[in-house]
Structures are given as C-alpha cells and as structure tokens.
Amino acid sequence: MDTKNNTRISEFLLLGFSEDPGLQPLIFGLFLSMYLVTVLGNLLIILATVSDAHLHTPMYFFLSNLSFVDICLTSTTVPKMLVNIQTHSQAITYADCITQMYFFFLFVEMDNFLLAVMAYDRFVAICHPLHYTVIMNPQLCVLLVLVCWILSVLHALLHSLMVLWLSFCTDIEIPHFFCELNQVIQLACSDTFPNDLVVYFVTVLLAITALASILYSYYRIVSSIRTLSSAQGKYKAFSTCASHLSVVSLFYCSGLGVYLSSVVTHSSHASAPASVMYTIVTPMLNPFIYSLRNQDVKRALRSLFGGKV
C-alpha cells in the first residue's frame, strides 16, 4: 500500500455532464424541472395516502414510504449540482462528498428493499387474500420498514467508513454530477481492493437478493393468477401489480446496468448519464406510474384538491 501521502484532501471537483459554458443553462433548467416534478409528484402521493382513509392499507403505506425515500434520494444529489452550476463552481468539500455518498447509498438501498417488501405485500394479497389483513398487520408493516432502514443505514455506513480509510493524491476530479462511490474510489492512491470487493460483492449481492425475492413473489403471483377461472379476475389481480412491476423494471435495469457496465468497460464518463435513469428519472416517474392506472389514488388526489369523487 502506498503511504507516501496520508494528508487528507480538502475538496473534490464534480465535472458534471459538460464543461461547456453554453450548455450549463440548459442542464440547469432541465434538472431543476425534473427535480421539482419529482418532489411535487411524490409529495402528492404522500399527501393522498395520508389524507384518504381508504388508502390506509399496507400497500399504500409502503408506497408513501417509497415516495418519501425518492424525494430524499433526488435531494441528495440534484440540489448540489444546481448550486454548482449557478455559482460556476465544481467544488464539493471532502466532508460533504462523504456525507453525500452516505445518504445516496442509504436511500438507494431503501428503494431496493422497499420494492422487495412491496412485492411480498402483493404476493400475500393475491395468493393469501383471506389471511391478508392478519398477515400484513400494522405491526409487521412497521417492522418491515424499520428493518429496511436498519439494513440501509449499516450498508451506507460500511461504504462511507471504508472510503475514509483511503488516501487521495492530486487527482481530485470526479467525472460525475455527484460523489459516486466507484468514481471516488478510482481517485485513491492507496490500495482499493477491499473497497472494490465491497462495491461489487456486497452491493450487488443485496440488489440480487432483493431482486430474487421480487421475482419469486411474482412467480407465485402468476402461478396463483393462472388458477383463476374468471378472465376479469385475472385482469384485476394482475393490474394491481402492473405499476409495481414497471417501477421494478426501471429501477433494476438502470441501476444494475450502471454498475455492471462499469465493471466491463471501466468508462468514467459514460456512467454519469446512465446514473440519471435510476437516481432522477425513476423517482420522477414513480408517482405517474402509480397514479395513472390506479383509481384509488386518482380518487384520493381529486378529494385532496376538492374535486368530485
């Protein structure tokens, strides 16, 4: 391990998407719009589920938690990027970078675990409808969310502490719009093997475990739906899962794609645009996906704004 420079650097430089000054207003406007839509859309989902007694069910309890986490996830990265563009600065302090990295991993893992919990909720609702209220009782719902938070906090803390052990030299430019873990590790001048091992083993393991539980839940759901004799019953059962499946596809295809492609290509500049999909676009689309085909949510939103139900 190279220990010739153990002095801690004071800041990193976030290069963002482009250093062309002419593109900065366009990037600022685009991401500000996406951020506002994300916050407003997810906030409306939370308000609708809280205000409508019909939505006080496990499914919407988990959905409101997902919306809260999505707001936090985008708020971890986008505001800092917007401030840097507005102030014509690329700097982020060492402490702020580690903090941003911690909360980013915290909320990404929460998304990961909550999607798995929501799949289990749909499995119980469709495969064991008579026992649904008994199995998915309020105590279990709160416990599941609490476990998700604990696991996410520990995982984010593991990554953050391991980065603190690294030594950084003169190269402090991060070709990304936030302190993405892989990009920061590549800047270290000390041994990064333990960090790489954790990133590509623990992180992917947690994602694959959650994804496997989702796939198993939907395998059981599809098997249960196939036994229904009524075509209308089959459509109704599957329509309750369509929104969740869309969000799962967006999140995992984009998220795993970024990390797996970085292992194969080692491209630093390609990961920033790809990361936008699961860090900004997916949280922005979630409220639309869950509300467009969901009559309960539509009714709650109309009621929230004083419309006719």
The DSSP-derived string for 45-74 is: HHHHHHH-GGG-SHHHHHHHHHHHHHHHHH
d(CA 112, CA 126): 22
| Predicted confidence (pLDDT) at residue 308 exceeds the cutoff of 70 | no
- pLDDT exceeding 90 applies to what percent of the chain? 46
Which comes out higher in pLDDT, residue 66 or 300? 66
Is 198 contained in some domain?
A: yes
Instruction: Output the CA torsion 17→20→26→32 (10° steps).
Output: 50
Q: The domain that contains 103 carries what CATH number?
A: 1.20.1070.10
For the segment 49-74, the average pLDDT, to the nearest whole number, is: 93
* CA 240/CA 238 separation, integer angstroms: 5
> How many structural domains compose the chain?
1
Quick check: 309 pLDDT over 50? no
Q: Read off the pLDDT of each residue in 174-202 and give the average, rounded to a whole number.
A: 86
Note the pLDDT of residue 182: 84
Looking at every residue in the chain, the average pLDDT score rounds to: 85
Report whether 271 contacts 180 (CB < 8 A): yes
Report the range out of 18-22, 158-162, 182-186 with the highest average pLDDT: 158-162
150 dihedral zone (left: phi>0; alpha: psi -120 to 50; beta): alpha
Q: Provide the β-strand partners of residue 168.
A: 188
- Other beta carbons less than 10 A from residue 260's beta carbon: 12
Domain for residue 2, yes or no?
no
In a domain, 121, yes or no: yes
pTM of the model: 0.89
Measured between alpha carbons, how far is 113 from 239 in angstroms, rounded to an integer? 22
Give the range of the structural domain holding residue 61, as residue numbers without chain letter. Answer: 11-304
Beta carbons within 10 angstroms of residue 165's beta carbon: 12
1 lies in some domain: no
- Position 6 in a domain: no
> For position 2, what pLDDT does the model report?
44
**Structure confidence at residue 58 (pLDDT):** 94
Residue with tokens 């960090």: 195
pLDDT of residue 293: 67
Mean pLDDT calculated for residue range 34-46: 95
Q: Where are the beta strands (DSSP E) in the chain?
A: 11-14, 91-93, 173-174
Residue 264 confidence (pLDDT):
55
pLDDT for 257-280, tens place per residue? 666 655 555 555 566 777 888 889
Note the pLDDT of residue 4: 42
221 in a structural domain: yes
**What is the tens place of the pLDDT at every residue in 95-150?**
999 999 999 999 999 999 999 999 999 999 988 989 999 999 999 999 999 999 99
Could you tell me the sign of the dihedral formed by the alpha carbons of 233, 237, 240, 244, in that order? Answer: negative
Is 193 within 8 Å of 5 (Cβ atoms)?
A: no
Distance CA 16, CA 28 (A): 11
Is 163 a domain residue? yes
pLDDT at 6 over 80: no
Q: Which residues of 195-214 are buried (b: 16+ CB within 10 A; e: fewer)?
A: beebbeeebeebbeebbebb
pLDDT at residue 61 greater than cutoff 50: yes
Q: Is residue 5 part of a domain?
A: no
The H or E element that residue 141 is part of is: helix 138-164
pLDDT (0 to 100) of residue 169: 79
Q: What phi and psi, each to the nearest 5 degrees, are found at residue 65?
A: -65, -40
Q: What pLDDT was estimated at residue 7?
A: 45
**Band of residue 81 on the pLDDT scale cut at 50, 70, 90:** very high
pLDDT reading at 191 higher than 50: yes
pLDDT band at 74 (very low <50, low <70, confident <90, very high): very high
